């Protein structure tokens, strides 16, 4: 089977070396200083390091794990081109059902073992062969069948269907990229303490984990890219409220925090702080529902729920600064954004008419993450819906991995949702196909399946973009999801924090920074 060279990967060692240095990404031209301790506040604990014990990527979990485990490829946040990391090149077969990755030689894990293709094969065999295999595959878009290691430094990713966007997917945060040495995995996976630590090929290692309180990382002494490894230690403090995290930054207790969209303006108005912004390669927040359960299996009800909402003011419930609501799964500034996607307008009378035609009372419980600000947003949804005769109870629930597990397992019929990774249309599409394990919304509609199929069959950026935007319009016409906000990504920090690459998801590359103090 023929292979073709990945368009954006480095073609020569010289180019690879230049890209590895991230020179184009650096926020300043100063020579980085080594040493110091970086302090970051996260919202919740990580649950553990074994992805079969904690089978979700999770916002807070990934925030920590991304510093411990290195990706095969990264994405340049300015050009969105692929940058080699542990992988030097990626070559698809002609039908895009097999991708061959050549590994960088000489890379060592934090325990000193050399990284080889066998480590990737053992890692993927364990996860894809588990009871969560279907769920894990669903986070990768088109179905990954298996991983092979035809050579010491050669990995083959083999799919049961074409995966033209795999080059981009490999650069995105996901638990499937948190690879550990095969020998270490086999020696430790049966031990009780296996979930309390990990070994990776990233720039940092676990030094200390105090459950519910803090996590401390230290430099990986075997890290291959020491030119981009600066601070000696990274300390995560768990602070359970967004506003409290931000206030800890303002008071000088923290050096850097990811800022949710509703605190972005506060961060930018604080002239003592520096901020960095970028498009979000992780879809926004809103309401998800089980499309097979009444009343959400009826399009009249779904449309009524949208007609009942004045969505632009809803975006400003917390910030008091209304912004345009999301119309697709991407948002402004994203390379796959579909600006012409149309949604039903705010019209309470149309909502009432649709509900009258439905002919039955509409009542449900909106399950929400137990954050004070988000509860306020949910209560505003509740008030709008009450005005058209829909009765809604708001039920706060747990945060962190517990919430993600509840959503993934189908515990809720209606829930406050993070709509997941959106780096490539294939990731979004699989969330709505009737036969996909990633379809937590239980959509089963031939028109949606047809639009997903057309998107999967498209080749080339222009054809894929057109098919992707058609799918977004079909989803909007049928109201298969309901977005609240799709803000960009904002990181706030003190000015002495230098060298942060432009963020393109909620997991900024804080492990690249250096401290000028």
The predicted model gives 487-506 an average pLDDT of 93
Considering only CA atoms, which of 445, 412, 444, 452 is closest in space to residue 428?
452
The encoded tokens of residue 459 equal 């080749």
> What is the pLDDT confidence band of residue 408, given thresholds at 50, 70 and 90?
confident
Number of alpha carbons in the 13 Å side-chain half-sphere of residue 508: 27
Question: From the CA atom positions of the chain, what is the Rg in Å?
Answer: 23
Which 3-state string (H, E, C) describes 370-411?
Answer: CCHHHHHHHHHHHHHHHHCCCEEEEEEECCCHHHHHHHHCCC
Q: Tell me the average pLDDT across 268-293.
A: 92
Confidence category of residue 21, pLDDT binned at 50, 70, 90: very low
Nearest to 343 by CA among 487, 445, 480: 480
Q: How far apart are CA 16 and CA 452, in angstroms?
A: 35
Point out which residues pair with 367 in neighbouring strands. Answer: 395, 415
**Strand ranges across the sheet with 98-103:** 87-92, 98-103, 154-159, 144-151
Strands (E), 65-143: 73-75, 82-84, 87-92, 98-103
- The per-residue pLDDT for 24 is 37
Using pLDDT thresholds of 50, 70 and 90, give the confidence band for residue 4: low
User: How much is the pLDDT for 487?
Assistant: 76
Supply the angle between the helices 461-478 and 446-457 in degrees, to the nearest 10.
Answer: 170
Span 365-379, average pLDDT: 91
Q: What percent of the chain has pLDDT over 90?
A: 76
What does the CA dihedral 54, 55, 61, 63 come to, rounded to 10 degrees?
A: 160
Averaged over 13-30, what is the pLDDT? 44
- Dihedral sign computed on CA atoms, order 364, 366, 372, 376: negative
Read off the pLDDT band of 405 (50, 70, 90): confident
* The token pair that represents 346 in the structure block: 């705010």
How many whole angstroms separate alpha carbon 115 and alpha carbon 199?
11
Name residues whose C-beta falls within 8 Å of residue 56's C-beta, 6 or more positions apart in sequence.
175, 401, 404, 405, 408
pLDDT classification of 6: cutoffs 50, 70, 90: very low
In the prediction, which pLDDT does 313 show? 95
Q: How many CA atoms lie within 13 A of 144 on its CB side?
A: 29
Q: Is the pLDDT of residue 11 over 70?
A: no
- pLDDT tops 80 at residue 104: yes
pLDDT of 56: 86
The answer to whether residue 15 scores a pLDDT higher than 50 is: no
More confident residue, 178 or 9: 178
Residue indicated by tokens 């300390």? 235
pLDDT of residue 3: 59
The 3-state DSSP class for residue 275 equals: strand
Please report the pLDDT score of residue 2 as a whole number. 62
Question: Between 118 and 279, whose confidence is greater?
Answer: 118
**Residue among 348, 345, 290 nearest 476 (CA):** 345
Q: For 1-21, what is the mean pLDDT?
A: 44
Mean pLDDT computed over 385-391 = 98
* Amino acid 27: pLDDT: 45
140-187 tens-digit pLDDT: 888 999 999 999 999 999 999 999 999 999 998 899 999 999 999 999
Taking only the tens place, the pLDDT of each residue in 451-493 is 999 998 999 999 999 999 999 999 999 999 999 988 788 999 9
What are the tokens at 153? 């430094």
Residue where the block lists tokens 């990986």:
220
Q: Which of 26-30, 98-102, 213-217, 409-413 has the lowest mean pLDDT?
A: 26-30
The overall average pLDDT reported for the chain is 91
Asked if residue 513 has pLDDT above 60, the reply is yes
In order of their start, the domains of the chain are 13-277+489-515 (3.40.190.10), 285-485 (3.10.105.10)
CA neighbor of 39 nearest in space, from 251, 275, 263:
251
Q: Would residue 347 be called left, alpha or beta, if left means φ above 0 and alpha means ψ between -120 and 50 degrees?
A: beta
From the centroid of its chain, how far is CA 238? 20
Cis peptide before 336, with omega less than 30 degrees from 0? Answer: no
């Amino acid at each position: 089977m023929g292979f073709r060279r990945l368009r954006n990967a480095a073609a020569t060692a010289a180019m690879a070396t230049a890209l590895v240095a991230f020179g184009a990404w650096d926020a300043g031209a100063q020579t980085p200083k080594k040493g110091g301790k970086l302090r970051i506040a996260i919202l919740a604990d990580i649950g553990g390091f074994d992805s079969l014990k904690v089978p979700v990527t999770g916002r807070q979990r990934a925030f920590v794990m991304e510093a411990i485990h290195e990706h095969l490829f990264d994405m340049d946040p300015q050009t969105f081109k692929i940058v080699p990391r542990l992988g030097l090149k990626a070559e698809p077969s002609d039908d895009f059902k097999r991708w061959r990755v050549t590994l960088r030689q000489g890379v060592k894990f934090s325990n000193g073992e050399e990284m080889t293709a066998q480590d990737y094969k053992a890692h993927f065999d364990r996860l894809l062969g588990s009871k969560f295999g279907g769920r894990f595959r669903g986070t990768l878009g088109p179905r990954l069948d298996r991983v092979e290691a035809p050579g010491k430094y050669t990995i083959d990713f083999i799919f049961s269907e074409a995966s033209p966007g795999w080059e981009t997917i490999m650069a995105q945060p996901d638990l499937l990229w948190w690879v550990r040495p095969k020998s270490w995995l086999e020696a430790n996976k049966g031990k009780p303490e296996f979930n309390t630590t990990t070994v990776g090929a990233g720039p940092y290692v676990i030094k200390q984990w105090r459950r519910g309180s803090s996590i401390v990382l230290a430099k990986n002494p075997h890290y291959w890219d020491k030119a981009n490894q600066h601070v000696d230690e990274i300390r995560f403090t768990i602070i359970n409220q967004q506003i409290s995290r931000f206030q800890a930054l303002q008071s000088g207790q923290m050096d850097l925090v990811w800022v949710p969209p509703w605190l972005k303006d506060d961060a930018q108005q604080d002239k003592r702080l520096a901020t960095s912004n970028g498009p979000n390669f992780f879809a926004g927040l809103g309401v998800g529902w089980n499309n097979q359960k009444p009343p959400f299996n009826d399009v009249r009800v779904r449309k009524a729920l949208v007609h009942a909402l004045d969505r632009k003011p809803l975006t400003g419930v917390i910030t008091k600064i209304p912004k345009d609501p999301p119309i697709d799964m991407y948002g402004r500034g994203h390379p796959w954004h579909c600006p012409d996607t149309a949604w039903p307008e705010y019209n309470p009378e149309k909502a009432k008419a649709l509900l009258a035609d439905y002919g039955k009372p509409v009542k449900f419980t909106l399950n929400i993450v137990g954050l004070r600000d988000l509860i306020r947003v949910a209560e505003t949804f509740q008030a709008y819906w009450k005005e058209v005769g829909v009765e809604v109870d708001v039920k706060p629930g747990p945060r962190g991995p517990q919430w993600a597990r509840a959503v993934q397992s189908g515990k809720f019929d209606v829930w406050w949702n993070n709509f997941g990774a959106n780096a490539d249309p294939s990731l979004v599409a699989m969330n709505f196909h009737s036969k996909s394990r990633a379809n937590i919304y239980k959509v089963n509609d031939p028109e949606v399946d047809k639009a997903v199929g057309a998107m999967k069959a498209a080749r080339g950026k222009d054809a894929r973009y057109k098919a992707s935007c058609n799918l977004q319009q079909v989803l909007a016409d049928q109201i298969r999801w309901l977005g609240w906000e799709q803000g960009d990504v904002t990181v706030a920090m003190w000015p002495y924090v230098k060298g942060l690459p432009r963020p393109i998801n909620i997991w900024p590359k804080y492990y690249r920074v250096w401290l000028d103090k």
